[in-house]
Amino acid sequence: MALVLVILQPRISKAVQRRREHTGTVARTDGGPLLFTGLMLASVYGGYFTAAQGIIYLSLMGMLLDDTMQRLNAVKNVLAAVVNSIAALFFLFVAHFDWTAVVLIAVGSAIGGQIGAKVGRRLSPTVLRALIVTVGTVAIVQLLLR
């Protein structure tokens, strides 16, 4: 569902903007309680499971904030890093895990985050959105075929 919202976000944002102009209301710069609640629920989910966490964040922020895809992607990266760091600290005290896997995931995430940020800033919003949708679709298909 989050992937569909990422696809439809430009159209929905334009419709919301037209409605605001028609009714004379002003957009909230902080996304309001709906964004806060959505991000909180997505963070609880993401802290445990993490699958599609970034796409859920992007779909929520894309619908409720008036900002560029590149900036929303940057906020998504910071938010995911904070949530996953807090979750990692929690699990450090309550679970047993494979340290080799932890190191591999941490290194891969750090390298991927740096490369992704550099590439994401250079892409147009349309290309960035298409890339997000493509990666999300491939992940869904891969999970369904397992």
The Cα–Cα gap between 79 and 43 comes to: 8
Which whole number is the average pLDDT over 99-124? 89
Average pLDDT, the chain: 88
Neighbouring residues of 57: CB distance < 8 A, sequence distance ≥ 6? 39, 42, 46, 75, 76, 79, 80
**What per-residue confidence (pLDDT) applies to 106?**
87
**What per-residue confidence (pLDDT) applies to 25?**
79
- Three-class secondary structure of residue 86 per DSSP: helix
The Cα–Cα gap between 107 and 117 comes to: 15
Range of the domain at 55: 2-145
Number of independent structural domains in the chain:
1
The pTM is what? Answer: 0.75
Q: Given a cut of 90, is residue 9 above it in pLDDT?
A: no
